[in-house]
Amino acid sequence: MTSPLDPDLTSAVQAFAAHPRVLVATDFDGVLAPLVLDPMDSRPVEGGMPALTDLAALPGVTVALVSGRALAPLRQLSEARDPLVLIGSHGVEDSRHTDGLALDEDQHALLETLAQEVEALAERHPGVRVEDKPAGRVVHTRGLPAQEGKDALAEAAALAERHTSLVVTPGKEVVELAVAHVGKGAALLALADDLDADAVFYAGDDLTDEHGFAALADDTDTARAGRRLTVRVGDGETRAGFRVADEEAVVELLVALVAARRSAGRSVSPAPDRSTAGG
Ligand SMILES: [Mg+2]
Considering the domain architecture, whether residues 61 and 111 belong to the same structural domain is answered as no
Q: What is the reported pLDDT for 149?
A: 95
83: CA distance to ligand 1 center in Å? 22
Query: Residue 207, CB half-sphere, CA atoms under 13 Å: how many?
Result: 0
Alpha-carbon distance 53 to 81, whole Å?
8
Alpha-carbon distance 22 to 267, whole Å?
15
Q: What is the mean pLDDT of residues 187-211?
A: 95
24 and 51 in contact (C-beta within 8 Å)?
no
Percent of the chain predicted with pLDDT > 90 = 76
129: CA distance to ligand 1 center in Å? 29
Considering the domain architecture, whether residues 134 and 255 belong to the same structural domain is answered as no
Specify the higher pLDDT residue, 37 or 270. Answer: 37
Strand partners, 88: 93
CATH number at residue 133: 3.30.70.1020
Q: Say what the alpha-carbon torsion angle 222, 21, 49, 216 is, to the nearest 10 degrees.
A: -10
45: CA distance to ligand 1 center in Å? 13
- DSSP for 193-221 reads HHHT-SEEEEEE-SHHHHHHHHHHHT-SS
Q: What is the reported pLDDT for 276?
A: 44
Q: What is the reported pLDDT for 101?
A: 85
State the DSSP code for 275. G
Q: What is the reported pLDDT for 1?
A: 47
The boundaries of the domain holding residue 126 are: 105-178
Q: What is the reported pLDDT for 10?
A: 97
* pLDDT tens figures, 74-83: 999 999 999 9
Q: What order do you get walking across the sheet with 85-88 strand by strand?
A: 93-94, 85-88, 61-66, 22-26, 199-204, 229-233, 242-244
Considering the domain architecture, whether residues 168 and 54 belong to the same structural domain is answered as no
Give Cβ neighbours of residue 57 (< 8 Å, ≥ 6 apart).
none
28: CA distance to ligand 1 center in Å? 6
Out of 9-23, 162-176, 220-234, least confident range: 162-176
Q: What is the reported pLDDT for 188?
A: 96
159: CA distance to ligand 1 center in Å? 33
Residue 142 pLDDT > 70? yes
* pLDDT tens figures, 71-113: 999 999 999 999 999 999 889 899 998 888 888 899 999 999 9
Task: Assign 3-state DSSP to the chain and report helix, strand, coil percentages, each to 5.
Answer: 45, 20, 35
Is residue 124 one of the residues assigned to a domain? yes
265: CA distance to ligand 1 center in Å? 30
Secondary structure of residue 149 in the 3-state scheme: helix
Q: What is the reported pLDDT for 39?
A: 80
Residue 272 pLDDT > 60? no
Considering the domain architecture, whether residues 55 and 147 belong to the same structural domain is answered as no
Alpha-carbon distance 49 to 32, whole Å?
8
Beta 136-140 vs 174-178: how paired, if at all? antiparallel
**Domain boundary residue, one of 134, 160, 178:** 178
Is residue 2 one of the residues assigned to a domain? no
251: CA distance to ligand 1 center in Å? 15
Q: What is the reported pLDDT for 183?
A: 87
Considering the domain architecture, whether residues 70 and 201 belong to the same structural domain is answered as yes
Residues with CB under 5 A from ligand 1 (ion): 27, 29-30, 205-206
